Structure 1
Amino acid sequence: MSKNGAPPSYNYGPPPAAPPSYAQAVGGVPPTSPYIPHHSLVQSGPEILTTVVPLGPNATHMICPHCHAEIDTTTKTQPGLIAYISGLIICLTGCPFGCCLIPCCIDKCMDVHHSCPNCDTYLGRYKR
């Protein structure tokens, strides 16, 4: 207590400054946020939200991100890495007389490529 009975007053000084912003601390532009506010000053038409659709071994029902049509993907199979590796193993084990091509004919060894039947855009690949 002070001489006049009042509690002592302490002089701490001004409050500390706020921590530096990301741009000040690192230098540059802050990273973009996945959050995009729905209000904007300029509207350029309807907003189309596309999502990632997992592609599988069969045709997939989805909306094409290029032409925005509701489609079932067109699939095409091609030999994948598993087919080539198993063909090499078959050849190295002593069956060089065309047996090494058998994995290229088995569906389980094939990669599946998906495309849009409407605009023929390549949409992705399902790897085995």
Structure 2
Amino acid sequence: MIEGKFGDDEELFFEIELIAADGLELPVDAMLDTGFSDWLAIDKQDLEGLDWPYVGERNMRIAKGEANFDIYVGKVRIDGEEFDIPVHVGDGVPEILIGRQWLKSRRLVVDMQSNVLTLGGS
């Protein structure tokens, strides 16, 4: 189980690690976006240096309308486990985002009154 933190506007942040193709591990704060139905989304500039393999593109509906994303296979570590997942890469993604797919195998606990935010095993 990993403990998260609340952002200034009550966003839900969790520390994850992006793992580059050469094995370099980059800890980052990722925001949980329950409106994002996939695994991970990052801005194109955040992709530099990771050297993840490109696999195609996908058009998706987002809050601002339609957007085209390049899809890469990325490696991340969450709660000590490594995963190879599809990563949506686009222009203007304001935060590194983790989406609802993580909630299929992890339990989210949010208790703002007690300042408790966790993401972990069921």
When you count strand as a share of all residues, which structure comes out higher?
A: 2
When you count helix as a share of all residues, which structure comes out higher?
A: 1
- Give the TM interval when normalised to the shorter protein: under 0.3
After TM superposition, the score normalised by the length of structure 1 is 0.24
1 or 2 for the larger relative contact order (CA 8 Å, sep ≥6)?
Answer: 2
Instruction: Specify the structure having the higher radius of gyration (Cα).
Output: 1
After TM superposition, the score normalised by the length of structure 2 is 0.25
